[in-house]
Amino acid sequence: MSLLRESLKEIHKRLASRELSARDLAEESLRQIEQKDKEVGAFLLVDQEGAMERAAKLDEQLAAEDQRGILAALPAGIKDNLCTEGVTTTCGSRLLANYVPIYNATVVDKLNEAGAIAMGKLNMDEFAMGSSTENSAFKLTRNPWDLERVPGGSSGGSAAAVAAGEVYFALGSDTGGSIRQPAAFCGVVGLKPTYGRVSRYGLVAFASSLDQIGPLTKNVEDAAYVLQAISGLDVKDSTSADVEVPDYLSALTGEIKGLSVGVPKEMMGEGVSAGVRARVEEAIQKLEQMGATIKEVSLPHSEYAVATYYLLAPAEASSNLARYDGVRYGVRKPGKNLLDMYLETRSQGFGPEVKRRIMLGTYALSSGYYDAYYLKAQKVRTLIRQDFERIFEEVDVIVGPTAPTTAFKIGEKVDDPLTMYMNDILTIPVNLAGLPAISVPCGLADGLPVGLQVIGKAFDESTILRVAHAYEQATERLPVPPLGGIEA
């Protein structure tokens, strides 16, 4: 078995007894990437030199001190919309193909402090806009469970790299489901924290009222460790919340007796495939057997969530992406005057989905349409939030599927934006309400992973981790993905 599939406790034990070094782990990650990434395509950039340097430095520290960071020596993958000082950060866009940040995202600094070893940058839909990673300007990422299928998106590289065992864990970002949906498609754990829990400083902005950074890991315990390392107030992000960070590990008791679990009937409706519904129903039965009380609840406005999101997120994006003008950074395309240079830079630099959303957002914000679209959507957002507030007066967590189907075929949905958008129908309401949610594997349907989504109250990551962990402990783990026959 690859070192990268050992438990964190086992790795820490072997590090402590000097059987294992940070260099061993970094080398193993490089070996796995070398072996598998030609097929999987998760990485946009492998920072071999930087990773080995960090590992050597960490080994010196580990030899000198008895203390270890909680993520010591774990090889990590970083989604390519997180700024890494001195390491190209493209955001999956041609426009940023040459962008080398002069600072680290706060989460990247925090990973370094915790001792993790960043191995490189992971593929994604351009500017995190997409649900299949097919909108990357650079390459296709394939699902390790079936190389003809998408890994989900937009954090598809992050999910695929973890599933394939190329890294120990990865960071992703989630604006409308971009951590949880690829986690579900690739059979890994993905956690979107409460809005404000994790600093967004150094995350390339897509929709600032919705974006959150979070971990993708092999199991729930690892997710708790990574969340512990990256959470907390940051003076560099005024939207990061001044709310105490609890000890997430102590929440993993394996015990959910007496907990009240809400199942919204809208999340189990006709749009959900039979295979997904069957696995999720079994998971709910399991939770009941373990002593949780199951209640049917209702999110009456959830059917409006996709429409709301596809007005608000593009509106915020159109404003955020106005900065890409070819003046201060990025790839400039020449023009005969300043305006012409803007037009050429943006028209040649952005891909079709990004242009579509910029135009949709510009339209929704434009004079004469603002009230009808943008303001209307903001009001419906309130109704969606209130649905959750009402439910959380009577239950501790909400569960349902993460995505309505398992991973679809590459190319299957690229021609119809609206069909692609419907993928996020079960994850979007959570972003609109700013709540935390985790996707944990709950078995296979026709050989492909299914994700169980557990949604919690604001800043109550502890309880969703507890439920997901207890469920995971009580059920069989997924096998290692087949990866088209390559030895995993």
Task: Please list the active-site residues.
Answer: 79, 154, 178
Q: Which residues 303-362 are close enough to bind other proteins by CB under 8 A?
A: 303-304, 306-308, 310-311, 318, 322, 325-332, 334-344, 346-347, 350, 352, 355-356, 358-360, 362
Let me know: does 450 contact 276? Beta carbons within 8 Å: yes
Binding residue (CB under 8 A) for other proteins from 381, 413, 457, 466: 381
Phi, psi (5° rounding) for residue 330?
Answer: 90, 180
CA nearest neighbour of 461 among 241, 209, 177, 191: 191
Contact pattern for other proteins over residues 174 through 213, marking x by CB under 8 A: ---------------------xx------------x----
Let me know: does 157 contact 150? Beta carbons within 8 Å: no
Residue 246: beta bridge partners? Answer: none
Size of site (CB under 8 A) for other proteins: 72
Q: Tell the smallest beta-carbon distance from residue 48 to other proteins (Å).
A: 23
Which residues neighbour 47 within 8 Å (Cβ) at sequence distance 6 or greater?
84, 87, 118, 119, 120, 121
Contact pattern for other proteins over residues 25 through 64, marking x by CB under 8 A: ----------------------------------------
Q: Which residues 70-109 are close enough to bind other proteins by CB under 8 A?
A: 98-100, 102
Q: By CB under 8 A, tell whether 363 contacts other proteins.
A: yes
Rounded CA gap, 179 and 275, in Å? 22
Query: How would you classify the pairing of strands 437-445 and 189-192?
Result: antiparallel
Q: Which helix (H) or strand (E) holds 46?
A: strand 43-46
Contact pattern for other proteins over residues 219 through 238, marking x by CB under 8 A: ----------------x--x
Residue 282 vs 363, nearer CB to other proteins = 363
State how far the alpha carbon of 184 is from the alpha carbons of 80, 386, 481, in Å.
Answer: 20, 27, 13
Q: Tell the smallest beta-carbon distance from residue 343 to other proteins (Å).
A: 4
Number of helices (H) and strands (E) in the chain: give both, helices first.
15, 11
Candidates 157-165, 183-191, 244-252, 415-423 — which segment interacts with other proteins by CB under 8 A?
415-423
Residue 119 vs 315, nearer CB to other proteins = 315
Q: By CB under 8 A, tell whether 376 contacts other proteins.
A: yes
CA nearest neighbour of 401 among 440, 444, 431: 440
Residue 285 vs 347, nearer CB to other proteins = 347
CA nearest neighbour of 446 among 331, 278, 316, 320: 278
Tokens of 282: 């079994």
Residue 31 vs 385, nearer CB to other proteins = 385
Residue 85 vs 412, nearer CB to other proteins = 85
